[in-house]
């Protein structure tokens, strides 16, 4: 119909299906690039990556083909809206920015879970459209230079060109180092910086930019925009750490840090100068406490105790020197002299780039949680240099028992939706958010002083949660379950999240083999719906179409008719 836009790889046109009138975007590879097999491969890599991921916040690609001799094209969903860079003329409100960034993080988390790194994340590739009541629904575009982690791809293309956009490239992208999900987190940190300040962290020519990303520290965002909470600024700076190991482990962890930065609790975190004065003199009045031998922190990843270097401590808290910083306000377990196990909460971070400015080593501050009377007695004894022998097993934690029992009751149910306390048509982002919420609860419980029996129960609950996520956390697995439950709305969610027509047909074939009468019953209900629709009775037509989908929930043609009826009913023609 018309040209929509043009980029380095190709041009995008608005297209219209000649029979049903639906609009699509047609992306065509530039003719002068079509003679290079490597560039054609990269062009088609976008469709392969998007199909592999399958996420509501990533643009859908329906087809890819060639018109001889060299007209390569993709058929994509047509989006009405504008790219994020159109909104960056002034700093965005944090709540608005958070709503956008959380969706981008969800999309990246799904990509990274499938081993795909975007490598060119920037505002132009974050498209803002409308979905229902959500005025800022995000679609991440242009996975054309995405790579699988396992490929261990170089930072350069086969043609010798640097991959990515210099203003948003992570240091490792120009240093010849392996690139993984942490590069996308850095790029998103640059995007968040621009959203918060309407400026980029670094400017200048290509050479200046590449050097700045590798060597210079950005000006903290809250210095450029005084309305920003310091915790928000700190979260962005962590994403922009030069060393990938010092960035967030996942895109979702970045989103959670930004969300926490807007909570009331984050507003009371001390400033840099206050933190330096508050963390440095941890000792209470009187003589310094004795040194604590054998201080260890429980490592959840390795399921083992990890030795730590303790800088200061008193009866209420301590400061651990470490470059690996657990999330703020997360719970940790601390063991002293292989005897006393204390639970604590992370209340402060000192990042490596802050340590010189604050005159403190990099690390984190812990505040001890209230202990059982026996624990208090043991801590007091240790302060006097005495080490009483604790019981062989931690005391049974009655408070933890209530939470564990509640989780057990939820997972005794066979329906995974009931286990997560979600509706059967829940969006995938809501499913992942609920799983993360339960994971946090389990981690908090594990960090407490609980019995071995309680700890074993938590391990079983972890396994149950993993099974639940495997059952409804991906479009293919979820659609298979929803077909058994005749949950056509859940299947619609899977289709919207990228379930391919081929996968739907294979699932339907299996379903109809077990339900041989379903197709005939659904056809009869559909005919009734069509007759009612022609008479203008859309309400009853929708009811019969739902009954048809209940019988044949994987029938794509029924889905298309049903949602068209719903749209006509909500937006009647004048």
Both tokens of residue 53? 């991921």
Both tokens of residue 147? 């790579």
User: Contact at 8 Å (CB) between 84 and 127?
Assistant: yes
User: Contact at 8 Å (CB) between 118 and 147?
Assistant: no
- Cα–Cα dist 398/380, whole Å: 24
Sequence-separated contacts (24+) of 97-101 with Cβ below 8 Å: 97/192, 97/195, 97/196, 98/255, 98/258, 98/259, 98/262, 99/136, 100/126, 100/128, 100/136, 100/138, 100/195, 101/188, 101/191, 101/192, 101/195, 101/254, 101/255, 101/258
Q: Does an H or E element contain 365, and which? A: strand 363-368
Residue whose structure tokens are 């400026």 = 199
> Residue 73: phi, psi to the nearest 5?
-145, 160
Q: Name the catalytic one among 63, 106, 109, 120.
A: 120
Both tokens of residue 169? 């490239």
Nearest to 181 by CA among 107, 116, 240: 116
Chain center to CA of 497: 15
- Cα–Cα dist 515/224, whole Å: 63
User: Contact at 8 Å (CB) between 128 and 138?
Assistant: yes
- Cα–Cα dist 255/264, whole Å: 17
Question: In the annotation, is 184 catalytic?
Answer: no
The alpha carbons of the chain give a radius of gyration, in whole angstroms, of 28
User: Contact at 8 Å (CB) between 67 and 73?
Assistant: yes
Residues with Cβ within 8 Å of residue 202, at least 6 apart in sequence:
167, 208, 209, 212, 213, 216, 218
- Cα–Cα dist 303/300, whole Å: 5
Chain center to CA of 19: 38
The DSSP code sequence of 76-139 is EE---EEEGGGGTTSPPPHHHHHHHHHHHHHHHHHHHHTTEE-S---GGGEEEEEETTEEEEEE
Instruction: Return the HEC string of 307-358.
Output: ECEEEEECCCEEEEECCCCCCCCCEEEEEECCCEEEEEEEEEEECHHHHHHH
- Cα–Cα dist 484/211, whole Å: 56
Q: What is the DSSP letter of 285?
A: S
- Cα–Cα dist 184/251, whole Å: 8
Residue whose structure tokens are 């926490």 = 260
- Tell me the catalytic residues: 120
């Amino acid at each position: 119909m018309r040209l929509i836009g043009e980029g380095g790889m190709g041009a995008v046109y608005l297209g219209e299906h000649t029979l049903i009138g639906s609009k699509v975007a047609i992306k065509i590879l530039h003719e002068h690039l079509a003679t290079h097999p490597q560039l054609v491969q990269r062009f088609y890599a976008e469709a392969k990556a998007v199909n592999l991921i399958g996420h509501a916040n990533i643009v859908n690609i329906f087809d890819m083909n060639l018109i001889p001799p060299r007209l390569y094209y993709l058929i994509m969903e047509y989006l009405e809206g504008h790219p994020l860079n159109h909104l960056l003329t002034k700093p965005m409100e944090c709540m608005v920015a958070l709503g956008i960034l959380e969706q981008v993080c969800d999309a990246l988390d799904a990509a990274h879970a499938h081993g795909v790194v975007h490598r060119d994340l920037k505002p132009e590739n974050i498209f803002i459209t409308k979905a229902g009541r959500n005025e800022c629904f995000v679609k991440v575009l242009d996975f054309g230079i995405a790579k699988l982690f396992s490929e261990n791809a170089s930072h350069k293309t086969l043609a010798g060109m640097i991959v990515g956009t210099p203003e948003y490239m992570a240091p490792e992208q120009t240093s010849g180092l392996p690139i993984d999900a942490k590069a996308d987190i850095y790029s998103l940190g640059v995007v968040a910086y621009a959203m918060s300040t309407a400026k980029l962290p670094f400017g200048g020519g290509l050479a200046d930019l590449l050097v700045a990303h590798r060597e210079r520290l950005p000006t903290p965002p809250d210095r450029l925009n005084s309305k920003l909470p310091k915790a928000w600024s700190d979260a962005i700076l962590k994403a922009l750490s030069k060393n990938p190991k010092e960035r967030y482990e996942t895109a979702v962890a970045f989103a959670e840090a930004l969300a926490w930065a807007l909570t009331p609790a984050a507003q009371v975190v001390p400033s840099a100068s206050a933190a330096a004065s508050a963390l440095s003199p941890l000792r209470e009045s009187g003589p310094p406490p004795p040194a604590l031998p054998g201080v260890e922190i429980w490592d959840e990843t390795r399921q083992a105790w990890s030795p730590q270097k303790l800088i200061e401590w008193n009866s209420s808290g301590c400061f651990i020197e470490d470059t690996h910083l657990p999330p703020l306000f997360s719970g940790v377990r601390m063991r002293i002299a292989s005897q006393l196990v204390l639970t604590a909460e992370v209340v402060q971070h000192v990042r490596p780039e802050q340590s010189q400015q604050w005159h403190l080593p990099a690390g984190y501050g812990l505040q001890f949680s209230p202990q059982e009377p026996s624990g208090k007695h043991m801590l007091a004894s240790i302060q006097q240099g005495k080490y009483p022998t604790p019981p062989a097993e931690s005391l049974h934690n009655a408070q933890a028992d209530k939470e564990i029992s509640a989780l057990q009751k939820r997972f005794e149910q066979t329906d995974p939706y009931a286990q997560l306390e979600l509706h059967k048509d829940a969006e995938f982002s809501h499913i992942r958010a609920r799983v993360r919420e339960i994971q946090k609860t389990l981690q908090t419980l594990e960090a407490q002083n609980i019995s071995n029996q309680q700890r074993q129960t938590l391990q079983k609950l972890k396994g149950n949660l993993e099974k639940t996520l495997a059952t409804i956390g991906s479009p293919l697995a979820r659609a298979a379950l929803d077909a058994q439950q005749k949950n056509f709305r859940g299947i619609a969610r899977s289709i919207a999240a990228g379930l391919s027509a081929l996968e739907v047909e294979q699932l339907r074939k299996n379903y109809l083999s077990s339900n041989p009468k379903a197709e005939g019953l659904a056809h009869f209900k559909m005919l009734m719906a069509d007759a009612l629709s022609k008479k203008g009775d859309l309400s009853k037509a929708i009811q019969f179409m739902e009954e048809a989908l209940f019988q044949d929930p994987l029938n794509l043609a029924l889905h298309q008719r049903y949602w068209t009826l719903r749209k006509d009913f909500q937006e009647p023609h004048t």
